[in-house]
């Protein structure tokens, strides 16, 4: 997927010497990656088993308030079912035999089945989920290992209202096009984010050196950077020390480039 990000020139950014000494947190994108089995419980478990620090997953909410893990608002692409998640009940999804370890799962089941050391990036797709997701994560005493993210930035404000200590990640995409990046990011800092989640395509859009300068600008403000979806081990090694979180479809390649499993696990 191509993401047009930001028109920028070097005068907008400050020179910084921000370096990260530790290895970045590696998260499996939708578990083992986009495609068959994405966001399924088995895919999420396997990602952690092969050495990821955790997973990135997508959350929708059913009409009766159950948080299910699916990227799209409907189930057509992932399960061939002409069903909109927000317009049906979880009971109905179970009746359709869509809920199983290889199919649709709930966020609750993810926290039950993944190890307590697993870091989980919960991307909120439906803003209505904000009021439900924080209490669920708190019930597992997992706030310190959970990053809530969304393209719906006001939804992140709601997450903070539910718990001021919640770590939120602002996903940056098409809405940033044509804006002065320094000014835009300064405005977003009012949300008090834990991270800015930036598309890896920024290096194609604005060039490698300018992309690194943008990352350093963000990190100099005390905000972490998560890069999605970084699948190229060569690019990873070029930006080593510049990103705090890597979200990838290519877990095995990225893990190999970093020398194997993380010592965190």
Residue 31 is predicted with a pLDDT of 98
Q: Omega of the bond prior to 121 within 30 degrees of 0, cis?
A: no
Q: What is the pLDDT of residues 178-211, one digit of tens each?
A: 888 889 999 999 999 999 999 999 999 899 999 9
Q: Is 154 a residue whose pLDDT tops 80?
A: yes
Q: What is the pLDDT of residues 79-100, one digit of tens each?
A: 999 999 999 999 999 999 999 9
Q: How confident is the model at residue 265 (pLDDT cuts 50, 70, 90)?
A: low
254, 233 Cβ separation under 8 angstroms:
yes
Q: Is 11 a residue whose pLDDT tops 90?
A: no
Per the annotation, the verdict on 71 as an active-site residue is: yes
Give the list of residues 6+ apart from residue 247 with CB closer than 8 angstroms, or none.
27, 29, 56, 121, 197, 226, 227, 228, 229, 230
Which of 259, 225, 265 has the alpha carbon at shortest distance from 241? 225
What's the distance, CA 201 to chain centroid?
15
Q: Is 263 a residue whose pLDDT tops 80?
A: no
Q: Could you tell me what percent of the chain has a pLDDT over 70?
A: 91
Residue 19 is predicted with a pLDDT of 37
The pTM for the full model equals 0.92
The structure tokens listed for 66 are 């159950």
Question: Distance between CA 265 and CA 47 in Å, rounded?
Answer: 12
What's the Cα-to-Cα distance from 192 to each of 19, 23, 152, 166, rounded to whole Å?
21, 24, 15, 10
Q: Could you tell me what percent of the chain has a pLDDT over 90?
A: 85
Residue 180 is predicted with a pLDDT of 87
Q: Is 6 a residue whose pLDDT tops 70?
A: no
Q: Is 235 a residue whose pLDDT tops 60?
A: yes
Among residues 12, 29, 152, 153, the one annotated as catalytic is 29
Among residues 12, 71, 152, 153, the one annotated as catalytic is 71
Decide which of 118 and 1 is more confident.
118
Q: Is 229 a residue whose pLDDT tops 70?
A: yes
The structure tokens listed for 157 are 């404000």
Q: What is the pLDDT of residues 23-81, one digit of tens each?
A: 999 999 999 999 999 999 999 999 999 999 999 999 999 999 999 999 999 999 999 99
Residue 201: other Cβ atoms inside 10 A? 17
Q: Is 22 a residue whose pLDDT tops 80?
A: no
Per the annotation, the verdict on 29 as an active-site residue is: yes
């Amino acid at each position: 997927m191509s993401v047009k990000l930001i028109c920028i020139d070097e005068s907008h950014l400050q020179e910084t010497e921000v370096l990260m000494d530790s290895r970045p947190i590696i998260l499996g994108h939708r578990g083992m990656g986009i495609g068959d089995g994405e966001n399924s419980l088995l895919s999420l478990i396997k990602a952690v088993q092969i050495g990821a620090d955790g997973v990135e997953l997508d959350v929708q909410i059913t009409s009766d308030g159950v948080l299910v893990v699916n990227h799209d608002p409907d189930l057509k692409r992932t399960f061939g079912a002409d069903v909109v998640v927000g317009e049906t009940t979880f009971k109905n999804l179970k009746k359709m035999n869509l809920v199983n370890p290889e199919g649709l799962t709930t966020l609750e089941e993810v926290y039950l089945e993944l190890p307590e050391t697993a870091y989980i990036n919960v991307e909120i797709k439906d803003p209505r989920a904000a009021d439900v997701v924080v209490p669920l994560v708190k019930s597992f005493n997992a706030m310190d290992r959970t990053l809530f993210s969304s393209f719906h930035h006001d939804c992140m404000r709601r997450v903070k209202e539910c718990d001021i200590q919640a770590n939120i990640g602002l996903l940056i995409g098409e809405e940033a096009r044509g804006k002065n990046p320094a000014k835009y990011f300064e405005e977003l800092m009012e949300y008090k984010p834990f991270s800015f989640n930036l598309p890896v395509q920024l290096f194609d859009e604005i060039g490698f050196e300018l992309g690194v300068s943008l990352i350093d600008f963000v990190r100099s403000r005390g905000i972490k950077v998560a890069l999605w979806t970084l699948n190229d081990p060569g690019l990873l090694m070029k930006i080593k020390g510049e990103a705090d979180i890597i979200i990838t479809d290519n877990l095995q390649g990225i893990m190999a480039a970093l020398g194997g499993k993380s010592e965190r696990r």
